[in-house]
Structure 1
Amino acid sequence: MPGQLDGKRILILATNGFEQSELEVPRDRLRDAGAAVDVASPKTGEIKGWDHKDWGRPVPVDKPLAEAREGDYDAIVLPGGQINPDLLRVNPQAIALIKAFYAAGKTVAAVCHAPWLLIEAGLVQGRRMTSYSSIKTDVINAGARWEDASVVTDNGVVTSRNPGDLEDFSNKIIEEVREGRHRRRAA
């Protein structure tokens, strides 16, 4: 529904190898709802997605990761794919940015393999979460209570299983951003 997120700003953090639909569907849905959405990356220019079994379309990078600030946005969205979160979870700037959004009580949303980033940021202990099935054990071993559900929300942290759940994922991000900041217990 247009106008739900008027005046809100959302940051999508990604690099080469993001799952194409996991960046594009939430980006487009959030924009349709009235949010300004920027894509940040350690890369500049553009990043290339992975579309099922081969490289997908490039997406322009709006902001270098080094210039992305939590204070400029209302939420952060983390697309999955296998390559993208694996590259980002070893990037100290990316992890620090995710931690900053969490610490500020802002919506943090991760789909598919992107919960790896939440694990690396130390944000999963005791939290209800879901993820792509192949990283279920990683999520559980990090201390989360994994659920087999399309979308799980735990106090402003939104996780989703896979590309088939992107409409539900996007709708939940909109709902959480509209709620505003979340008071968080220690993870």
Structure 2
Amino acid sequence: MMKVAVLLAEGFETLEGLTVVDIMRRAGVCCHTFGTKSQKVRTSHDVVVEADKLLSDEVLEYDMIVLPGGMPGSVNLRDDEKVNEVVMAFYNNNKLVAAICAGPITLGKLKISEGKNVTCYPGFQDQLGNCNYKEELVVVDGNVITGRGPAAAIPFAFELLKHIAPDKVEDLQKAMLFK
């Protein structure tokens, strides 16, 4: 079974991080949260979450990595050398790399978004380098999946699920009254 890792840095956007976890777990997908500095992580809206694990090389055994947005969470992810190392390893090994809202600024720093179709929260596109910016809720380009912002959390999570467990999407969308 494919496994999803959601990275939680201090100040992450609650909806964007936890919606992915919720939808993956409802679908029966192995999905763990990894705190970047501590297992107790405070969201951008002052919700304290306990991550399943602390970020380590164990994350490299996963098939998809997800970077939620939020401030200062996105900056904390971008400026964390371990996060950068892990994201590059996923990208270079053609594993799925997903980021939403301001989360794609890590992709910009690492030049992963160069030449790619991507989206992000309006105002952060200047940190994505020479990309093909799209004003869409969710954009897929190869092994890179990006989402626009909090309102895109559910469509983004379902797009991720399509790449991990496509056979689960339709039934779960119906069960959640998404379609």
TM-score by length of 2: 0.87
Spell out, residue by residue over 1:78-133, the C-alpha distance to the aligned partner (whole angstroms, 9 max, x if none): 10002011012111111010011111111111000000111122201100000000
Q: Which runs of 5+ in 2 are unaligned?
A: 167-179
Which of 101, 124, 135 aligns to 1:148? It is: 135
* C-alpha displacement of 1:178: 4.1
Confirm whether residue 14 of structure 1 aligns to residue 8 of structure 2.
yes
Q: Secondary structure of the equivalent of 2:115? A: coil
> What RMSD in Å do the two structures reach over aligned CA positions?
1.4
CA contact (8 A) 1:17 1:83 kept: yes
Confirm whether residue 62 of structure 1 aligns to residue 52 of structure 2.
yes
| AA aligned opposite 1:170 | A
Identity rate, percent: 27
Query: Quick check: 126-135 or 86-95, which moved more?
Result: 86-95
CA 1:87 to 1:134, structure 2 compared with 1: closer, same or farther past 3 Å? same
Count of residue correspondences: 166
* C-alpha displacement of 1:152: 0.4
> CA–CA distance in 2 between the matches of 1:8 and 1:31?
12
- Give matches, 1:31-180, under 5 Å: 31-51=25-45, 55=46, 57-70=47-60, 72-139=61-128, 142-178=129-165
CA contact (8 A) 1:10 1:38 kept: yes
CA contact (8 A) 2:96 2:143 kept: yes
CA contact (8 A) 2:29 2:165 kept: no
> CA–CA distance in 2 between the matches of 1:20 and 1:138?
22
TM-score by length of 1: 0.84
* C-alpha displacement of 1:138: 2.1
| AA aligned opposite 1:90 | D
4+ runs deviating over 3 angstroms: none
